[in-house]
A and B are shown apart, each in its own frame.
Chain A
């Protein structure tokens, strides 16, 4: 019988140690700024100003949370953390939902129907991939203003949907689905609507989920467009409110780090949680969309 304790220890592979050291350094590079935010939301503003971030967890988390979520800041007193959180949710979910519904419909029309102007529609739609919103921001603002969409949820969400990423994604996916499927469905007497709902939708579940995650994060994190379109504080999203928070650091006697950092934390957590929990879908969706 062999004695387990006498199996010669494997020599330490220094290259493996180095690999781990590099990965840990990378992980820390990503993590440390976040840890600093987490620490400062547990202390009072005065403590943060005097000592900076420390290796101590304070007991002010509840107080800072209350201040951030329920006490309003700004001029009108309408943008508490709660209202900003609700607006961010509406933007993230509305954007993701709108993008997927409109994208799937258009992609279905382009892939599964014989249309005379299909090629023209295709180019019309896919040109939008070339010019990001940032380069046409002012004229877009003017159009929204002419249509009376300032400070509305429609104005916040719909102009952001005017790009074809989801349509492109679903078009690629539908094209990869075997042709026999639609032939079989037609032989069985299924019409286009029945085929879409009973066959295509269930088949696309994973793709829809992946797209939803990516679009939710994208919508939640929008900044420039919400900055322009919302001027009423009650319409601010968390990400849009961040600049105002930063500006409140200047000029006041005691900058409210506790409140500000808590709001930043609340702006970060939902999209990060979604990405971490649905990691495999998210990665699949991301690497397959852009190729």
Chain B
């Protein structure tokens, strides 16, 4: 709040009302409902519900399918985060270094930001088309009989690839702006002290990029957990079956398709706790330890 703020009473309240109303109805109410219905067992035909306490949660913990999905989500998140961050960092460092064509490269490397995840998944389905997909043919040429939507590992590989393709631009934009924020004097000092470009990168650039990197780490984890929904949904073609899926996708499948409202809500609550933990981690650990600016 500014010290010299206005003192009118009714105006700020009037200004805040729309925002508060929307979040009350579409944020706090649903969030509370999720917690509440996670404690109930819903009748699949809609005839009321019974209070079952923590049963939905204990069911989850003992469900081997849920654990399997959880494990896949973990591996998926690690792979997507690692590859999209490292690829983007490499490209950003190079794009920051070249003089000729810098702007063209920047445009060519960032436009995919605007492609919607399900559309990215759709393009992935085309690229891996069973009979004529270019990537299927590429895989075949090295003796890999790629079967999207049939073989679990093949589908997972394709999902990771498409998710990385979609996420590299965001990371690239942030890394590039992080690189451009490094003062010229620091770079010149590094140039005088250290001949090798590799050494300069690891000793100077990389530590200076650490705040950006940690911020992006969180962004990428939440991306892998939540925003990949559209990619997964189009790539399994709406038929989860034996296909790989993430925790968020399972919330949707169980609740919306399977009508297991209580179980799905319990899963939602588990995810909420996960996101809250991530945010706390971000604030406590990252903000305190890495502070260069």
Answer whether A162 and B23 are a contact pair too, CB < 8 Å, given A26-B87, A139-B31, A221-B114: yes
Stretch at the interface among B64-72, B201-209, B226-234: B226-234
Assess the A112–B90 pair: CB atoms within 8 A.
no
CB-defined contacts of A199 to chain B, threshold 8 Å: none
Assess the A287–B177 pair: CB atoms within 8 A.
yes
Assess the A23–B15 pair: CB atoms within 8 A.
no
- A89 at the binding interface (Cβ < 8 Å): no
Assess the A223–B123 pair: CB atoms within 8 A.
no
Candidates A23, A141, A271; contact of B91 at CB < 8 Å: A23
CB-defined contacts of A20 to chain B, threshold 8 Å: 98, 100-101
- A27 at the binding interface (Cβ < 8 Å): yes
- B217 at the binding interface (Cβ < 8 Å): no
CB-defined contacts of A249 to chain B, threshold 8 Å: 125, 237
- A36 at the binding interface (Cβ < 8 Å): yes
**In the complex, chain B residues 118-164 whose Cβ is within 8 Å of any chain A Cβ:** 118-119, 122-127, 129, 131-134, 137
Q: Dominant SS at the A interface? A: helix
Assess the A23–B119 pair: CB atoms within 8 A.
no
> Which single residue of chain B is at the shortest CB-CB distance from A187?
B4
CB-defined contacts of B261 to chain A, threshold 8 Å: 138
- Bound CA span A26–B84, Å: 12
**In the complex, chain A residues 105-131 whose Cβ is within 8 Å of any chain B Cβ:** 105-106, 108-115, 118, 121, 124-125, 128, 130-131
- Bound CA span A54–B137, Å: 13
> Which single residue of chain B is at the shortest CB-CB distance from A269?
B114
> Which single residue of chain A is at the shortest CB-CB distance from B96?
A19
> Which single residue of chain A is at the shortest CB-CB distance from B279?
A130
CB-defined contacts of B272 to chain A, threshold 8 Å: 131, 135-136
- B20 at the binding interface (Cβ < 8 Å): yes
- B48 at the binding interface (Cβ < 8 Å): no
Taking each of B7, B33, B113, B271, which has the highest tally of chain A beta carbons within 10 Å of its own beta carbon?
B113
Q: Size range of the interface on A?
A: 35 or more
Assess the B12–A161 pair: CB atoms within 8 A.
no
> Which single residue of chain B is at the shortest CB-CB distance from A20?
B98
Candidates B7, B18, B275; contact of A135 at CB < 8 Å: B275
Assess the A27–B127 pair: CB atoms within 8 A.
no
Chain B min CB distance to A268 (Å): 5
Chain B min CB distance to A35 (Å): 10
CB-defined contacts of A159 to chain B, threshold 8 Å: 26
Candidates B13, B101, B237; contact of A250 at CB < 8 Å: B237
CB-defined contacts of B18 to chain A, threshold 8 Å: 102, 105-106
> Which single residue of chain A is at the shortest CB-CB distance from B129?
A52
Candidates B12, B114, B197, B248; contact of A15 at CB < 8 Å: B197
Answer whether A143 and B251 are a contact pair too, CB < 8 Å, given A105-B19, A223-B118: no
CB-defined contacts of B248 to chain A, threshold 8 Å: 134-135
- A142 at the binding interface (Cβ < 8 Å): yes
CB-defined contacts of A271 to chain B, threshold 8 Å: 114-116
Interface size of B by Cβ–Cβ distance < 8 Å? 95
Taking each of A136, A222, A283, which has the highest tally of chain B beta carbons within 10 Å of its own beta carbon?
A136
Answer whether A29 and B165 are a contact pair too, CB < 8 Å, given A113-B11, A179-B2, A221-B117: yes
CB-defined contacts of B12 to chain A, threshold 8 Å: 109-110, 113, 115
- B222 at the binding interface (Cβ < 8 Å): yes
Assess the B111–A114 pair: CB atoms within 8 A.
no
- Bound CA span A52–B122, Å: 16
Candidates A23, A163, A167, A179; contact of B3 at CB < 8 Å: A179
Chain B residues within CB distance 8 Å of chain A: 1-8, 11-13, 15-16, 18-20, 22-23, 25-27, 29-31, 33-34, 37, 87, 90-91, 94-95, 97-98, 100-101, 105-119, 122-127, 129, 131-134, 137, 165, 168-170, 173-174, 177, 197, 215, 219, 222, 226, 229-230, 233-234, 237-238, 248, 251-252, 255-256, 261, 264-265, 268, 271-272, 275-276, 279
Query: 6 A-B contacts, Cβ less than 8 Å apart?
Result: A52-B129, A106-B20, A131-B272, A132-B226, A135-B34, A179-B2
Q: Which 10 pairs show the lowest CB-CB distances between chains A and B? A: A52-B132, A221-B116, A139-B30, A162-B26, A271-B114, A139-B33, A109-B12, A109-B15, A113-B12, A106-B19
Q: A125-B19, A139-B33 are in contact. List 15 more A-B contacts (CB 8 A).
A: A22-B90, A23-B98, A26-B91, A33-B124, A37-B123, A52-B133, A121-B20, A125-B20, A137-B251, A182-B5, A221-B116, A223-B117, A246-B125, A268-B115, A276-B107
